[in-house]
Amino acid sequence: MFTTQIPSMLASMRALVEHETPSLDKARLDRCCDHLITRFQLPDVVIDRFANDGGGDHLRIGFAPAGTPELPPTLLLCHYDTVFPAGTLAARPFRVEGDHAYGPGIYDMKASIVLAEFVLRAFIAQPAPLPRPLCLLITSDEEIGSRSSRLLIEDAARTAAQVLVLEPPIEPHAALKTARKGVGRFVVDITGRAAHAGVEPHKGASAIVEMAQQILAIQALNDDDTGTTLNIGLANGGTRANVVPDRATLTIDARTWTVAEAERITKAMLALRPQLAGTALRVTGSFDRPPMERGTATAALFARAQAIGATLGMQLNEGSTGGGSDGNFTAALGVATLDGLGVPGAGAHAEHEHIFVAGLAERAALLYALLRAL
């Protein structure tokens, strides 16, 4: 069904990629949002636009043609923001080379929005019975933590039968994602006491020496057995070489597979105390994305997807990843969540980001079959 539509899908993808959408550029994001509305103005489709003063607006797209049972919907999650700054497209324009289509944000995850569009168009062109309504959320801030869209996502998930996340799969075998690490961000602000490093260093209290002590304490929280990681990605302090530093800051990325580990790390980070006399600490932060644990509901949903894929000649595998997505929020609510249903490719967030063109038809067929069966 979808193989003959690949040229049209690529044309839609080009238009979407050519709308540059840095996560913090409201003007560009809203222009892309306008464009998406024109693409999804289809029969039986209801579009709601949610204003977002701090960034691009969010879209909720409902689809329930006549005869669809009034049951909890299947929720589809996409985002249209990207990590690339405005101007990237000039150096790396959309292009197709053989079986690869390139462009900023094409793999993560504008190709997935095109999947959703063309699957909806397929249901409209050849009406087929749906077991339940569909709800598609297309948000604008996933790449920066989904702070303005989280409540919208969670509200939609609470009334959904299951959630399908159209993020990229796990390569190289395009595996679906049934677990993701939770993501936390912590900042340790250290205050010391400044002094002349040559004349009276004894009157100072070095915030940088205290920072070194805290680095060792934070590193000790890593746990290879549980997969818990804390990365001190930024360490800043001091003003000049001849001044005992009175300020220092650490910024930490924390990731865990389980809620229990997230709670352990949060408690430990907030319990950090200064080791050197004359210094003080202020620790802030939390886990912005809870872990997406592989619960029984998600495992059962994957098993159903695997069986449906087999009817299409696909061998679907599952896997886990250390990166977070909006599926973390829905899984944490106990809703069956299956991630990684996007188009296969490679190079997310990188210069060589691309999708495999052949994967467009295959993944569209899979999504279509899932929505007919779930």
Each residue of 268-325: pLDDT tens digit? Answer: 999 999 999 999 999 999 999 999 999 999 999 999 999 999 999 999 999 999 999 9
Q: Is the pLDDT of residue 260 over 90?
A: yes
The answer to whether 83 touches 349, Cβ cutoff 8 Å, is yes
Q: Which domains does the chain have, with CATH numbers?
A: 3-181+292-373 (3.40.630.10), 182-289 (3.30.70.360)
Weakest mean pLDDT among 41-55, 122-136, 172-186: 122-136
Distance CA 263, CA 270 (A): 11
- Residue 292: asked if its preceding bond is cis (omega within 30°), the reply is no
pLDDT of residue 131: 94
Each residue of 347-364: pLDDT tens digit? Answer: 999 999 999 999 999 999
The answer to whether 137 touches 114, Cβ cutoff 8 Å, is no
* pTM beyond cutoff 0.85: yes
* Percent above pLDDT 90 for the chain: 98
Distances (CA, A) of 163 to 39, 77, 336: 23, 7, 6
Segment 156-169 shows an average pLDDT of 98
Segment 119-144 shows an average pLDDT of 93
Kindly list the strands in the beta sheet with 345-346, ordered across the sheet, starting from the edge strand earlier in the chain. 95-97, 100-102, 354-356, 345-346
Each residue of 63-116: pLDDT tens digit? Answer: 999 899 999 999 999 999 999 999 999 999 999 999 999 999 999 999 999 999
Each residue of 316-350: pLDDT tens digit? Answer: 999 999 999 999 999 999 999 999 999 999 999 99
Each residue of 221-242: pLDDT tens digit? Answer: 999 999 999 999 999 999 999 9
pLDDT interval class at 1 (50, 70, 90): confident
Distance CA 58, CA 349 (A): 22
Distance CA 207, CA 196 (A): 14
Give start and end residues of each alpha helix (H) in the chain.
Answer: 6-17, 26-40, 88-91, 111-125, 150-158, 207-219, 259-270, 296-311, 327-332, 357-373
Q: Is the pLDDT of residue 127 over 80?
A: no
Listed in order, strand segments (DSSP E) in 85-196 are: 95-97, 100-102, 134-139, 162-165, 176-180, 182-191, 195-196
pLDDT of residue 132: 96
Q: What is the mean pLDDT of the chain?
A: 97
pLDDT of residue 129: 82
Residue type, 113: I
* Percent above pLDDT 70 for the chain: 100
Q: Is the pLDDT of residue 126 over 90?
A: no
Segment 8-17 shows an average pLDDT of 98
Phi, then psi, of 177 in degrees rounded to 5: -105, 120
pLDDT interval class at 140 (50, 70, 90): very high
Distance CA 225, CA 216 (A): 19
